């Protein structure tokens, strides 16, 4: 059944809290703005996303290696990269209530309006829409509806801190706003230690921090988040299939990333590519293409794939005085590689996978909520139930659970009717439920119930793990 997108976000937030995916940070103290904590199931889902990304893009490829760099870096890194001068967003302030907004986002948020045509009645109007009574569009503060907004000024998004015990200018350090720079400053170390040949890539998964002016929409935009980034170095003097190597690899990475998101469950109708306009390109970019997802809040960026050219390596070479080049043995020349950067957010990917997987269905007159995660992403792979808590069934079910646990994330549940146990597992996206029943006592088989089709098959306990793993590998996204 098609799902209305509008209220899905609220449902996801509520399900996330109720079932242990995502909690508000420091909730008992009233919460911290835009910070979220991943609960027991959320952390499994998040780890699975990072694990399959690392496996598919790093371990499965001969041209990729990884690093795990520190978050605090030498402050000159941010001067060289341009972040100190350019990593800004335009900000406007309300002169009355003092709230701040990103100038380029302010039109998209719902706005409060005191309508003169209805004796000053207060309305909240959808972002970008005019008032239906007086036809006016928003000019004042969207939050209080009264104050004028200041002209935009640039606000640097980097979090500042101090290294060491003295809070002085010389000790200023920044929390990294992207993981990318560590790959550039370690270029020579990685190249030499691994004896790599172009083209090759360095990947990293880790936390980044941005003092976003208007964070929000659950985990979509936060001030602390995780990124999965790749810097793929290519020889700009080479051609591949008749095209400059950087342009060829840029398109290859866009296609590979798109395929990856489709493979793990995002529907064709929910993802699209968006080419950046020339005036929107970052200072380092020759071309950037975003993969957008149709979130419950509308179409928005899931990840970006940028052609950063040789900007970063040249900048770091200049500021550090170190040569950051590659020796092309064929041409007997030193070249500064070009860089293709596929940069994805872990939290945004998690939100995309969750909202794409969320379905409300009617089954025999009852509502069923189900998260149709790809089995590789599902926090729990198999739930094991004894049909009743007697006749030796719990003992066998515990043995089944213990047999699977070293290989698959298993959950044991013996409380309530089996139908309710199924529903609880559907709601957290568990693809397979195994039930030990009276027939098990006779022939050592169990039923395996499929989350998506709800069909049940009997499987010998001895072949259970192989059965589940085979079905996980053959999973197809239900239409
Ligand atoms: P946006 O335009 O939404 O601010 P961006 O283009 O600045 O994002 P990039 O610098 O390209 O983002 O970062 C790569 C990825 O990191 C993004 O596609 C997104 O998935 C993730 N990301 C960036 N900022 C945030 C944030 N504040 N919260 C969560 N994820 C983020």
Of ligand 1's listed atoms, the one at least distance from the Cα of 290 is 18
Of ligand 1's listed atoms, the one at least distance from the Cα of 212 is 27
Position 235 pLDDT exceeds 70: yes
Domain 380-473 has CATH 1.10.540.10: no
Interval 263-293: pLDDT, tens? 999 999 999 999 999 999 988 899 999 999 9
Of ligand 1's listed atoms, the one at least distance from the Cα of 89 is 4
Of ligand 1's listed atoms, the one at least distance from the Cα of 223 is 27
The pLDDT confidence band at residue 246, using thresholds 50, 70 and 90, is very high
177: CA distance to ligand 1 center in Å?
A: 10
320: CA distance to ligand 1 center in Å?
A: 28
Q: Strand locations in 315-396, DSSP E? A: 326-328, 333-335, 338-345, 358-363, 366-371, 382-386
The pLDDT confidence band at residue 479, using thresholds 50, 70 and 90, is confident
Q: What is the pLDDT of residue 121?
A: 95
CB 386 within 8 A of CB 86: no
Q: What is the mean pLDDT of residues 452-475?
A: 97
Q: Which residues have a Cβ under 8 Å from the Cβ of 251 and sit 6 or more positions away?
A: none
Pocket test for ligand 1, best of 156, 221, 222 (most atoms within 8 A of CB): 221
Q: What is the pLDDT of residue 283?
A: 84
Interval 337-350: pLDDT, tens? 999 999 999 999 99
Residue nearest atom 25 in ligand 1 by C-alpha distance: 221
Residue nearest atom 14 in ligand 1 by C-alpha distance: 343
Q: Could you tell me the sign of the dihedral formed by the alpha carbons of 288, 289, 290, 291, in that order?
A: negative
Residue nearest atom 18 in ligand 1 by C-alpha distance: 303
Helix axes 346-357, 8-18, angle to 10 degrees: 100
Pocket test for ligand 1, best of 177, 227, 231 (most atoms within 8 A of CB): 227
The tokens describing 139, both together, are 């000019």
221: CA distance to ligand 1 center in Å?
A: 8
Position 6 pLDDT exceeds 80: no
Q: CA 410 to CA 403: how far, in whole Å?
A: 10
Pocket test for ligand 1, best of 343, 346, 347, 349 (most atoms within 8 A of CB): 343
Q: What is the pLDDT of residue 4?
A: 53
Interval 158-180: pLDDT, tens? 999 999 988 888 899 999 999 99
274: CA distance to ligand 1 center in Å?
A: 14
DSSP track, 95-142: TTT--EEETTTGGGS-EEEEEGGGTTEEEEE-TTPPPTTT-PPP-S-T
304: CA distance to ligand 1 center in Å?
A: 8
Interval 195-210: pLDDT, tens? 999 999 999 999 999 9
Residue nearest atom 28 in ligand 1 by C-alpha distance: 221
Whether the predicted model's global pTM rises above the 0.85 cut: yes
58: CA distance to ligand 1 center in Å?
A: 21
Q: What is the mean pLDDT of residues 350-376?
A: 96
- In which residue are the tokens 């809070």 written? 167
Domain map (residue ranges) of the chain: 8-87+159-355, 88-156, 380-473
- The CA-atom distances, in angstroms, between 252 and each of 209, 255, 257, 263 are 29, 5, 9, 16
37: CA distance to ligand 1 center in Å?
A: 19
Pocket of ligand 1 from Cβ distances under 6 Å: 178, 210, 212, 221-222, 225, 227, 301-304, 343-345, 347-348
Q: Which residues pair with 300 in a beta bridge?
A: 293
Q: What is the pLDDT of residue 182?
A: 98
Closest CA to 370 of 429, 413, 421: 429
Residue 193's region, left for phi above 0, alpha for psi from -120 to 50, else beta, is alpha
Residue nearest atom 26 in ligand 1 by C-alpha distance: 221
Interval 30-72: pLDDT, tens? 998 789 999 999 999 999 999 999 999 999 999 999 999 999 9
Q: What is the mean pLDDT of residues 329-344?
A: 97
Q: What is the mean pLDDT of residues 450-464?
A: 97
Q: Strand locations in 210-322, DSSP E? A: 224-234, 239-240, 243-244, 271-275, 287-295, 298-309
Which helix (H) or strand (E) element contains residue 432?
strand 432-436
Residue nearest atom 23 in ligand 1 by C-alpha distance: 345
- The CA-atom distances, in angstroms, between 77 and each of 67, 84, 288, 316 are 17, 9, 23, 7
222: CA distance to ligand 1 center in Å?
A: 9
Q: What is the pLDDT of residue 33?
A: 78
301: CA distance to ligand 1 center in Å?
A: 7
Q: What is the pLDDT of residue 1?
A: 37
Pocket test for ligand 1, best of 299, 345, 353 (most atoms within 8 A of CB): 345
Q: What is the pLDDT of residue 367?
A: 93
Q: CA 380 to CA 376: how far, in whole Å?
A: 9
- Return mean pLDDT, the chain: 95
DSSP track, 160-222: EEESSS--SGGGEEEB-S-SHHHHHHTHHHHHHHHT--SSEEEEEEEEEE---SS-BTTTTB-
- Mapped onto helix, strand or coil, the DSSP state of residue 407 is coil
Q: Which residues have a Cβ under 8 Å from the Cβ of 234 and sit 6 or more positions away?
A: 198, 199, 245, 246, 249, 337, 338, 339, 340
Residue nearest atom 6 in ligand 1 by C-alpha distance: 304
345: CA distance to ligand 1 center in Å?
A: 6
Give the domain 8-87+159-355 fold. Answer: BirA Bifunctional Protein; domain 2 (3.30.930)
| Dihedrals phi, psi of 344, to nearest 5 degrees | -120, 150
Q: What is the mean pLDDT of residues 206-221?
A: 94
């Amino acid at each position: 059944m098609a799902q209305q997108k509008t209220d899905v976000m609220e449902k996801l937030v509520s399900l996330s809290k109720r079932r242990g995916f995502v909690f508000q940070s420091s909730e008992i103290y009233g919460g911290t703005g835009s910070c979220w904590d991943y609960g027991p199931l959320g952390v499994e889902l998040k780890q699975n996303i990072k694990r399959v990304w690392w496996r598919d893009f790093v371990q499965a490829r001969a041209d990729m290696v990884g690093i795990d760099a520190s978050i605090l870096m030498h402050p000159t890194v941010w001067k060289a990269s341009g972040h100190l001068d350019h990593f800004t967003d335009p900000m406007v302030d309300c002169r009355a209530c003092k709230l701040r907004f990103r100038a380029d986002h302010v039109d998209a948020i719902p706005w409060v309006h005191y309508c003169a045509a209805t004796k000053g009645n207060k309305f909240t109007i959808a972002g970008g829409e005019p008032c239906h009574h007086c036809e006016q569009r928003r000019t004042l503060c969207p939050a209080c509806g009264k104050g004028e907004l200041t002209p935009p000024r640039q606000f640097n998004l980097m979090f500042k801190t101090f290294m060491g015990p003295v809070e002085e200018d010389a000790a200023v350090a920044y929390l990294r706003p992207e993981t990318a720079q560590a790959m550039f400053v370690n270029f020579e170390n990685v190249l030499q230690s691994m004896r790599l040949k172009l083209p090759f890539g360095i990947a990293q998964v880790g936390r980044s921090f941005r003092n976003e002016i208007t964070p929000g929409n659950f985990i979509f935009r936060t001030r602390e988040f995780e990124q999965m980034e790749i810097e793929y170095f290519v020889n700009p003097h080479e051609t591949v299939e008749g095209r400059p190597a950087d342009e060829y690899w840029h398109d290859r990475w866009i296609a590979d990333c798109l395929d990856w998101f489709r493979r793990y469950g995002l529907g064709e109708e929910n993802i699209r590519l968006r080419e950046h306009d020339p005036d929107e390109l970052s200072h380092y970019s020759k071309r950037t293409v975003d993969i957008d997802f149709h979130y419950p809040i509308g179409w928005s960026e899931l990840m970006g794939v940028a052609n950063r050219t040789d900007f970063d390596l040249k900048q770091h070479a200049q500021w550090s005085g170190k040569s950051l080049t590659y020796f092309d043995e064929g041409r007997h020349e030193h070249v500064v590689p070009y860089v293709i950067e596929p940069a994805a957010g872990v939290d945004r990917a998690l939100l995309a996978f969750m909202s794409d997987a969320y379905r409300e269905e009617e089954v025999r007159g009852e509502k069923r909520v189900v998260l149709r995660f790809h089995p590789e992403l599902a926090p729990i792979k198999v739930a094991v139930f004894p049909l009743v808590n007697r006749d030796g069934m719990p003992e066998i079910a515990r043995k089944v659970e213990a047999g699977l646990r070293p290989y698959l994330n298993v959950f044991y549940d013996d409380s309530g009717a089996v139908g309710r146990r199924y529903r609880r597992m559907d709601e957290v996206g568990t693809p397979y439920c195994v039930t030990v029943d009276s027939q098990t006592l006779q022939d050592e088989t169990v039923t395996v119930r499929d989350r998506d089709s709800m069909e049940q098959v009997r499987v010998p306990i001895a072949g259970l793990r192989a059965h589940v793993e085979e079905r996980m590998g053959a999973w197809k996204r239900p239409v």
